[in-house]
A = this chain, B = another copy of it.
Amino acid sequence: MKPLGPVPAGFAAIDGELAIAGRKASELVAEAGGTPLFVYSADLIRQRVARLRAALPDRLALHYAVKANPFGPLLSLMSTLVDGFDIASGGELGLVTAAGIDARAISFAGPGKRIAELESAVSQGVTINCESETEAARALAIGERLGIAPRIAIRVNPDFDLKGSGMKMGGGAKQFGLDADRVPALARHVIAAGAAWRGFHIFAGSQALDAAAIADTQAQTLALAARLTDQIGAPLPHCNLGGGFGIPYFPGDIPLDLEAVGAALSEQFERLPAAIADTAFCVELGRYLVGESGVYLTEIIDRKISHGEVFLIVDGGLHHQLAASGNFGTVVRRNYPVAIASRFDAELAEEASVVGCLCTPLDRLADKGGFPVAEPGDLVAVFCAGAYGATASPAAFLGQGPALEMLV
């Protein structure tokens, strides 16, 4: 039997069934109109934000990285909880403005911004995190054409990365941001050109569970921001320190010690270099804010024995949960937290694999895990489905189409 990932805190059984935000999985499915269904718990998101506010310095603003989950009702909720939004495309800009979010609370990063996307962002007053000199030139030209001083920050490619992170976004040659040594010249140029200078975006990596590594990266980020600001010779209004706060997905993953991260950053803030003493800071979090709040519910269609092994075949699959299938940026497949939602407090009684409905061997949501005996009609829950689920999966594959989504 292979271990399953740890079920996040905040989920309990009611009448033997998994409950999300105090409501039974079967009720949620009935209300949504079927499966597969993503359910996001507003309560768990609020609790997470409250814990972040308590642990992190008051001075630090909290931004939401929309790419993690752009579901409309969830964006509306976030607009009541966080201080800013980071987008990665014109499509995401449309989603956040549709959710009523003020464009001036939005910053736009991404290595390949199209002209039309830049025009839309500049005209609305979104901060452009420029990724190259040429992109800055395009943003300035658009501002001139529109008669608007574009709000410009520079995304910095730091000379360090976030140790132990799932994805390295800095350190060495990267498509993201401008190499640090070229930042001062560009900053002076955009300031001289009359742009509204917004500062730095420094994102060194994501999905780290090691508080010391995050604290170390934040310290290096602050030192880099101070050094670059000295070289620029103009005040730094704002600095996005990136994110990197990971969540436990896999067996043995230890949750991030958030309080340790907060304590270390508070210490840093108490002895900031003069160059950035008055700078406003934020962290940009996506997965850490919403990942553990989401559950993917899918119904068992068939129960099959092949060569003595049990397969629970569900009506969902990798077309909604690519990362859980182990096929998105992972080398070694490990199990996400998965459970039989309709028998959530039942004893484990057999080894079974949960496979999706797609006609491909890649479509496996749990490999040889321990489960109670489940039958067609039972609901399966895949946890940690709140981030990089619905939109990070090939929904149209094999003619399937998107899952339902609801915020409760």
Partner of A175, one of B109, B329, B353, B392: B353
**Cβ of A80 under 8 Å from chain B:** no
Smallest beta-carbon distance A378→chain B, Å: 14
Chain B proximity mask over A111-150: 1 for CB below 8 Å, otherwise 0: 1111000000000000000011011000000000000000
Copy tally for this chain in the complex stands at: 2
Contact B359 A109 (CB under 8 A): yes
CB-based contact B168/A361 at 8 Å: yes
Find out whether the CB atom of A302 lies under 8 angstroms from the CB atom of B131. Answer: yes
A391–B395 CA distance with the chains assembled, in angstroms: 8
Quick one: which of B87, B173, B307, B392 contacts A394, CB cutoff 8 A? B392
Looking at A70, A134, A359, A401, the one whose CB has the most chain B CB atoms below 10 A away is A359
B residues less than 8 Å from A132 (CB atoms): 302, 304
Interface residues of A in 316-363 (CB under 8 A from B): 317, 322, 327-329, 331, 353, 355-362
Chain A: residues with Cβ within 8 Å of the partner, total of 73
Q: Which of B157, B307, B317, B331 contacts A173 (CB 8 A)?
A: B307
Q: In the complex, which residues of chain B have a beta carbon less than 8 angstroms from the beta carbon of A400? A: 89, 91
- Contact indicator B304/A356 (Cβ below 8 Å): no
**A358: B residues at CB distance < 8 A:** 88, 110, 112
Interface contact B322-A175, CB-CB below 8 Å: no
Are B398 and A88 in touch, CB under 8 angstroms? Answer: yes
- Taking a contact as CB atoms under 8 Å apart, the answer to whether A70 and B399 are in contact is yes
Residues of B within 8 A of A95 (CB): 399
Return the chain B residue nearest A66 by Cβ. Answer: B399
A399–B109 alpha-carbon span in the complex (Å):
13
A residues lining the B interface (CB < 8 Å): 66-67, 70, 87-95, 109-114, 131-132, 134-135, 157, 167-169, 172-176, 179, 301-304, 306-309, 311, 313-315, 317, 322, 327-329, 331, 353, 355-362, 376, 390-402
